[in-house]
Amino acid sequence: MKPINDRDVTNQISTGDPHPWVKEFPARLVVIDKNNTIIDLTEQAARVLSPGGGPDLLGRSVLDCHPEQARAKLLELIQERKTNIYTYTREGQKYLVVQAPWTISGEFAGYFDLTIELPANLPHFDRDSK
């Protein structure tokens, strides 16, 4: 497998040719590059974000997709390259959110935002217990 570089990412945006796993990945995933440009999103993310543009968000700034308060939090995460993990509930459904930087050869390349629906009966295993 050849490594991704900026040219590969640009070609992906211009051709609209997503990675094969993106089509049916069972979660919302939005990936941005180091310039805050949305370079990839799953179909599930496109559906949820459809009022804001859905698949047309590719190539746009992620900052344009957030209200001011959320934009400030996102900018802080990106500038400080922090990971942010939390859960929330909407309409009785619980979600896990992971926002984290990604790198290429150790260099900052962008950020991703992953949102996963959590089942009500999610098992928890204590790997420390005997």
Q: Residue 10: its pLDDT value, please?
A: 45
User: Which helix (H) or strand (E) segment is 79 a member of?
Assistant: helix 68-80
Q: Which CATH class is domain 27-118?
A: alpha beta
Give the tens place of pLDDT for each residue, 83-130: 999 999 999 999 999 999 999 999 999 999 999 999 999 999 999 987
SS3 content of the chain, % helix, strand, coil (to 5): 35, 35, 35
Q: Torsion-angle region of residue 54: left (phi > 0), alpha (psi -120 to 50) or beta? A: left
Q: Which of 29, 24, 46 is nearest to 99 (CA)?
A: 29
Residue ranges of domains in the chain: 27-118
pLDDT tens across 16-69, in order?
Answer: 565 677 777 889 999 999 999 999 888 888 888 766 677 778 888 888 888 888
Burial class (CB in 10 A: 0-12, 13-18, 19+), 62: buried
3 state DSSP class of 105: coil
